[in-house]
Amino acid sequence: MSLPKYKELNELNNINDIEKEIFIVTKNLFDFRIKKSTNQNVKAHLFTHTKRRLAQLNYKRSLLLKLNK
């Protein structure tokens, strides 16, 4: 499984859409952490992919907020 690419975020040009996606990704990361703490089976690469996607979304949101000022 390859890492998520920033180019995949081109469809998200609205801040509301980005914030919804951030909420979903944050929830998934929380669920992964809960599963890890309860010794359930979690694939380690999903942490890396989810954190990377979250960072990309936060960066895109900050760029859109700067452009809207």
Amino acid found at 44: A
Tell me the pLDDT tens digit for each residue of 21-38: 999 999 999 999 999 999
| Domain at 41, CATH number | 1.10.287
Residue-level pLDDT at 3 = 86
Domain membership of residue 36 (yes or no) is yes
Residue-level pLDDT at 34 = 96
Domain membership of residue 22 (yes or no) is yes
Q: Is the model's pLDDT at 4 over the cut of 90?
A: no
The widest CA-to-CA distance across the chain, in whole angstroms, is 46
Comparing 2 with 22, the larger pLDDT belongs to 22
Number of structural domains the chain divides into: 1
Domain membership of residue 8 (yes or no) is no
pLDDT band at 68 (very low <50, low <70, confident <90, very high): confident
Domain membership of residue 58 (yes or no) is yes
CB 9 within 8 A of CB 59: no
